[in-house]
Amino acid sequence: MRELLQRHKETIVTFLAIVVPLFLLYVHGRNPKQNTVVTNVLIEVTSPAVKASHDLISSIQGVWFGYLALVGTEDDNNSLKEQVDELEGVVVEAQQLRDENKLLRKELAFKRKRKDLITVTAHVIGRDVSAYARVLRVHVDGGSYDGLKEGMAVLTNRGVVGRLRQVSERYAEVMLTVDTRSEIAVKVVGKPITGMVRGKGDRNRYLAKMMVLPGTEKLDVDDRIVTSGHDQVFPPNLEVGRISLLKERQEGVYHVLEVAPAVNFGVLEVVQIVVGTRDEAVDSSLASEGRQR
């Protein structure tokens, strides 16, 4: 018996330490109004254990509810991120619409200003770019179906873009004013000087050259160059560019000066193609009426 008690000593002591206080608390609970020495001792003995268990349970509850709160917060955070992404998309789309509306307003203002021109509006749908990121030519979504023909002048509200080079039923290619094959009859604003502007085909920059006969009035940097209309392709008084360099060189009988184009070909979005003028339309109408008579 002694060996059995010795072997399970710790178990028995632990059992008694737990069961006896609980039994006494039970007895006291049956008559809670009586406050005895035993009760006081039990309270002193069991209070630390009760506090420790309470603290442990509170910690577990705190961790658990904190975990649940974090899970909820993560869900809310993901939902907010989705809303932010959607709002950012709306903002970008609104910005694009605003920019397009602003551009179209400028083109409309140009058409109202130049009521003498009959134009077809087209959008740039492609660009051929060199190894130096320089736009060589652009493609637009207008063609013979819209009444377009090769050689027609292409404009924007800022000035001359070039002319149509190849035209299919639905699409067309535009040769720019800086192309070496481009040639435009021009004049200098405020000065009795006329000449030709030809593209330089520079690999790095958008440049053209103005060719004038010697003995004309002196030119200055930033002198405005506009179409003269003498080539019967570009209507008069359309912006072509400005003189960017006064250093002249001889090319045959002409003096040559450097010209910066009025249009930035790298950001073209919308263009106007001149299909006729109001005077031509009136003349055509009068001729048709004369034939009918």
Q: End of a domain among 44, 59, 74?
A: 59
AA letter at 154:
V
Q: 246 and 122, same structural domain?
A: yes
CATH number of the domain bearing residue 264:
2.40.10.340
What does the block give as tokens for 140? 């637009």
Instruction: Assess if residue 27 is contained within a domain.
Output: yes
Q: 120 and 51, same structural domain?
A: no
Q: 130 and 23, same structural domain?
A: no
- Strand spans (E) along 97-180: 117-129, 135-140, 153-156, 159-167, 172-176
Dist CA 206 CA 132 (whole Å): 11
Instruction: Assess if residue 283 is contained within a domain.
Output: no
Instruction: Assess if residue 284 is contained within a domain.
Output: no
Q: 181 and 43, same structural domain?
A: no
Q: 43 and 121, same structural domain?
A: no
Q: What letters, b where the CB count within 10 A reaches 16 and e where it falls short, cover 103-117?
A: eeeebeebbeebeeb
Q: 245 and 129, same structural domain?
A: yes
Q: 134 and 19, same structural domain?
A: no
Q: How many CB atoms lie within 10 A of CB 144?
A: 14
Instruction: Assess if residue 83 is contained within a domain.
Output: no
Q: End of a domain among 42, 59, 76?
A: 59
Task: Specify the pLDDT at position 66.
Answer: 61
Q: 273 and 146, same structural domain?
A: yes
Instruction: Assess if residue 265 is contained within a domain.
Output: yes
Report the domain count for the chain. 2
Q: 120 and 31, same structural domain?
A: no
Q: 174 and 247, same structural domain?
A: yes
Q: Which residue has the tokens 């309270």?
A: 43
Instruction: Assess if residue 98 is contained within a domain.
Output: no
Instruction: Assess if residue 17 is contained within a domain.
Output: yes
Instruction: Assess if residue 92 is contained within a domain.
Output: no
Q: 163 and 37, same structural domain?
A: no
Supply the range of the domain harboring residue 23. Answer: 2-59
Q: 130 and 36, same structural domain?
A: no
Backbone phi and psi for residue 166, each to the nearest 5 degrees, phi listed first: -130, 135
Q: End of a domain among 59, 75, 102?
A: 59
Dist CA 238 CA 216 (whole Å): 22
Of 199, 222, 209, 186, nearest to 257 by C-alpha is 209
Dist CA 222 CA 201 (whole Å): 21
Q: 23: helix, coil or strand?
A: helix
Encode the chain (293 residues) as per-residue pLDDT tens digits. Answer: 566 556 655 666 555 555 555 555 555 555 555 555 555 555 555 555 545 555 655 666 565 556 555 666 666 677 777 776 666 666 656 665 565 666 567 667 777 888 899 999 999 999 998 887 889 999 999 999 999 999 999 999 999 999 999 999 999 999 999 999 999 999 999 999 999 999 998 878 899 999 988 776 788 899 999 999 999 999 999 999 999 987 767 777 788 899 999 999 988 999 999 999 887 554 454 445 445 54
